[in-house]
Amino acid sequence: MEVRRSIAVIIPALDEEELIGAALASVDEAAAYWAQAVAPGSAAEPPEVVSVVVDGGSSDRTRELAAGAGATVLEAAPGRSSQMNAGAAAVTADVLVFLHADCRLPVDGFAEIDAALDLAPREAAWGRFDVRLEPPSPLLRLVAGAMNLRSRLTGIATGDQAIFVTAIAWELVGGFAAQPLMEDIEICRRLKPAVGQPLCLRAVVTSSSRRWQEHGALRTVARMWLYRALYALGVAPESLHQRYYGLSQSVPGQESGLGGAPAPEDAEQEHQEHQERVVTAPARRALIVFAREPVAGQVKLRLAAVIGEVPALRVYRQLLTRTLRLAQRYRQRGSVAVILAGARSDGAGELERRASRLGFEWQEQCGGDLGARMHDAFGRAFAEGFEQVVLIGCDCPVMGVRELDSAFEALADAAVVLAPAEDGGYVLVALRGPLPKLFEGITWGSGEVLEQTRQAALSEGVQPRLLAELWDVDRLEDLQRWEAARGSQR
């Protein structure tokens, strides 16, 4: 079966009751067109598209209308940067599309993104659409044409062009900078060296020309070029924001606590300080994520035998991204360190780069079989001084914050905690101290893993605590179950 990309459309909004319906309708139309493009004549198993409207405190019916149109509605501190970062943090998707509330996607928009990413040289990629201003005028057609041409020449896109970013590229740059203006310019500046030039699509996003009409087209052009020039010369975006709106405001995005990248000049220092904060978490709790490098032919082998190596790799990337975002969210909730323990492949280093960008501690898996590698990871965590350690893999699509909470809570009075998997294994193991026998003599990959592990614990005089049973994705039936579950949430 073909494994398709999932897309999340993030729409920041503030008092947009007149236009939010049209923006969401364009998302639905593009999703329907894409479904027919990949599966002509069939409505079964459509590509996954979700719409997320992030409201910045509207006083009109924006939230009500968005919810009525089927979108997920969130609230965040006002400011496009903080709102878009909040939306991105709330979803798990292969591709993020950032659409302004006064813009409409082209009907073939998702199909064009999908096709462009198929031809992209690597998984980490980004791009934008051409833009058209409506209602049009000869001058506005010239303005839009100049915007599109300038973007192709410079590799810099504007928010009106509906910037799209793969999940991997998003993690590499850390999201939008926490600044009140020029956040679109800034993320393009960071994407270019990290990922490469944008994919400039000819499909056209329609953007409202209301601001051009309100202030006059020529005056708006001159004003935009002035602010771009000042920003390029190093004028702080906070100062530009105050000039642009003629008032003093707090910086949207910084007070939200929802993330967003630091200012470029402080990024490395911020990252180093964040690494230190993570490793010295006061509660001495650690979450270890066990993963393999995403390389075709080396991940999801049972699934690959049925659907092919490349589709299986895409499934693994989806699961990996979901798990890393879960770990990121869980760390943000309290004092827990996250350790990404990766099994390297020759010439690959993607996991280490993603750990660095997310502020996770990086460890290379060491040892022989899976049990030896897990024992080594636990041993190193306890050697660092952690007292409660939970280890998870990347195969369980239903693992969530609640399950992690349950594991850490169970460690208060249990030395070993296991979350059983339906196939006879387990999807989580948690310890309060080293227990090497727990990982010895286990028939890894069999349906006896959980029972053999339980008996190993009992032989050491330890009664393991079992959490609720979950399931993971190893076979075609599991993948179909996951797709059905995601479809029911749309």
Residues 235-251 have pLDDT tens digits of 676 676 666 655 434 43
User: Which band of pLDDT confidence, cut at 50, 70 and 90, is reported for residue 278?
Assistant: very low
CA distance 377 to 358: 19
Q: 11-15, 174-178, 397-401: which has the highest mean pLDDT?
A: 11-15
| 7-261 and 271-488 in the same fold | yes
> CATH for 271-488, among 3.90.1150.10, 3.30.70.1350, 3.90.550.10, 3.40.50.1220?
3.90.550.10
pLDDT at 169 over 70: yes
Task: Give pTM, 2 decimals.
Answer: 0.62
DSSP letter for each residue of 347-411: T--HHHHHHHHHT-EEEE--SSSHHHHHHHHHHHHHHTT-SEEEEE-S--TT--HHHHHHHHHHT
Burial of 53 (0-12, 13-18, 19+ CB in 10 A): buried
User: Which band of pLDDT confidence, cut at 50, 70 and 90, is reported for residue 84?
Assistant: very high
pLDDT the model gives residue 335: 77
User: Which band of pLDDT confidence, cut at 50, 70 and 90, is reported for residue 469?
Assistant: very high
Structure confidence by residue, pLDDT tens digits, 425-466: 999 999 999 999 999 999 998 999 999 999 999 999 999 999
Number of alpha helices (DSSP H) and beta strands (DSSP E) in the chain: 18, 15
pLDDT the model gives residue 318: 84
CATH homologous superfamily of domain 7-261? Answer: Spore Coat Polysaccharide Biosynthesis Protein SpsA; Chain A (3.90.550.10)
Structure confidence by residue, pLDDT tens digits, 306-365: 999 888 888 898 899 889 888 988 887 777 999 999 987 655 678 888 888 778 999 999
Q: Where are the domains of the chain?
A: 7-261, 271-488
The residue among 301, 453, 468 whose CA lies nearest residue 375 is: 453
pLDDT at 182 over 50: yes
pLDDT at 257 over 90: no
pLDDT the model gives residue 261: 36
Mean pLDDT of the chain: 84
User: Which band of pLDDT confidence, cut at 50, 70 and 90, is reported for residue 16?
Assistant: very high
Q: Name the DSSP class of 341.
A: E
Q: Which residue has the higher pLDDT, 369 or 182?
A: 369
pLDDT at 183 over 70: yes
pLDDT the model gives residue 47: 72
pLDDT the model gives residue 419: 96
pLDDT at 162 over 80: yes
CA distance 384 to 434: 12
pLDDT the model gives residue 416: 97
In one letter, which amino acid is 10?
I
pLDDT at 131 over 70: yes
Percentage of the chain lying above the pLDDT 90 cut: 55
pLDDT the model gives residue 248: 38
